[in-house]
Amino acid sequence: MIKKLEEISAQALRDLEAASTLEALEQVRISVLGKKGTLSDVLKTLGSVPAAERPAIGAAANEWKRKIEAAIETRKASLENAVLQAQLERDRVDISLPSRLPHRGSLHPITQTTRKIIEVFSRIGFDVVTGPEVETDFLNFEAVNIPADHPARDMQDTFFMGPGVVLRTHTSAVQMRTMRNQSWPLRILAPGAVYRNDSDATHSPMFHQVEGLWVDRDVKMSDLKGTLLFFAREMFGADAKIRLRPSYFPFVEPGAEVDVSCFLCRSKISDSCRVCKGTGWLEILGAGMVHPRLFEMAGYSEAVRSGALTGYAFGMGVDRIAMLLHGIPDLRLMFQSDVRFLKQF
């Protein structure tokens, strides 16, 4: 019987070693030590053994049982460890991988262009001022020498908010606001949104301008030209040129339209240039010497009479400059909030 116990136990130990999963190990345990297990079966026949031999067989059986149980524990621990290792390997986090960058938006091309314009002029002493978008008819028109019958006041162009109140049609209104609130000398830049009842690929009912104004003694047309040339070079490249074409704006005399040489074809006139369309020049702003009527409206008459108080003014369309710089074909793209468009800037 001892021999039988030995055989069963040796087989059990071999089976334990061969069990490759926790489930298989449990099966082996049941098949040997379970109620109907091989070891238990042998012990059930103990009654047929002579009484004198029983203690020795019982002791041997207990010894084998203890050995098998110990072997099961050892095997179990090593299988559990293997399961844990496999799990750790599977759930492994590679901490050396670069992290996902947080999503950052970007500034709208119009904001970028406005900031660039402000940056250029602030380097030569211009201060930024702002005015309201809902403006009086008086400051938007009357005070900048646009008489009541001027076509700019036509229902087609101006959004009227109520009697005597309009959405400003240009930032020139800020010139008068500032002059009526502050004394000269003045060197200001007024960026902001303006409104006109107009809409197509190059016109939007809301667009953006930057107005400039310098009022002091002895400001000359050549100062205006020098300032604008400096601006053109900073904005469009060091070899940019400008030209002034005589033009009419009610708030300046003389007045001019200002062109900058095409920054794409560098004025090497060719029909195929998509920016200047072969003209070599891009119209970017209006400018001139402040009309004496504006000084009168501002309450500067005394200074004008007693000395040589003069000034220049200019106004430019930011949206148009941004379109030229980035080759944007349709102004409406700017205001549709399409991320695919905005992402490019």
| Parallel/antiparallel/unpaired status of strands 186-195 and 127-128 | parallel
* Under rule CB under 6 A, residue 319 binds ligand DAH: no
Choose among 217, 214, 215, 129: nearest CA to 173.
129
Compare residues 68 and 287 and give the one whose CB is closer to ligand DAH.
Answer: 287
Measured from the CB atom, the residue of 37 and 288 that comes closer to ligand DAH is 288
Among 110, 313, 322, 324, binds ligand DAH (CB under 6 A): 313
CA distance to 157, 172, 251, 306, per residue, from 203 (Å): 12, 19, 23, 44
Q: Pick out residues in 287-306 that bind ligand DAH (CB under 6 A).
A: 287-288
Q: Which of residues 162-221 bind ligand DAH (CB under 6 A)?
A: 170, 172, 211
Question: Interacting stretch for ligand DAH, rule CB under 6 A, among 22-30, 44-52, 200-208, 250-258?
Answer: 250-258
- In the complex, what is the shortest distance from the CB of residue 316 to ligand DAH, in angstroms, rounded to a whole number? 7
- Taking CB under 6 A as the rule, does residue 286 contact ligand DAH? yes
Determine, following the binding rule CB under 6 A, whether residue 249 of this chain makes contact with ligand DAH.
yes
- Helix and strand numbers (H, E) in the chain are 12, 10
The distance from CA 242 to its chain's CA centroid, rounded to whole angstroms, is 34
- Nearest to ligand DAH of 236, 249 (CB atom): 249
Q: Which two tokens stand for residue 126?
A: 């211009």
- Strand order across the 252-261 sheet: 127-128, 186-195, 206-217, 309-317, 281-290, 252-261, 242-247
* CA distance linking residue 322 with residue 324, whole number of Å: 5
Return the number of the residue (252 or 334) whose C-beta is nearest ligand DAH: 252
CB of 322 to ligand DAH, least distance (A): 17
Q: How far apart are CA 158 and CA 196, in angstroms?
A: 5
Question: Of residues 16, 190, 315, 318, which one binds ligand DAH by CB under 6 A?
Answer: 315
User: What's the closest the beta carbon of residue 259 comes to ligand DAH, in angstroms?
Assistant: 14
Size of the site for ligand DAH (CB under 6 A): 13
Greatest distance between any 2 Cα atoms in the chain:
144
Q: Which stretch binds ligand DAH (CB under 6 A): 85-93, 108-116, 118-126, 309-317?
A: 309-317
Among 252, 260, 282, 324, binds ligand DAH (CB under 6 A): 252
Are 259 and 246 a contacting pair, CB within 8 Å?
no
Whole-angstrom distance, CA of residue 325 vs CA of residue 109:
10
C-beta closer to ligand DAH: residue 231 or 249: 249
Contact pattern from residue 62 through residue 101 relative to ligand DAH, giving x for each residue in contact according to CB under 6 A and a dash for the rest? ----------------------------------------
Give the list of residues 6+ apart from residue 95 with CB closer than 8 angstroms, or none: none
CB of 294 to ligand DAH, least distance (A): 10
Q: Which stretch binds ligand DAH (CB under 6 A): 120-128, 234-242, 251-259, 271-279?
A: 251-259
Query: Which one, of 208, 230, 15, 56, lies nearest residue 126 by Cα?
Result: 230
Contact 192, 134 (CB under 8 A): no
Contacts to ligand DAH by CB under 6 A: 170, 172, 211, 249, 251-252, 255, 286-288, 313-315
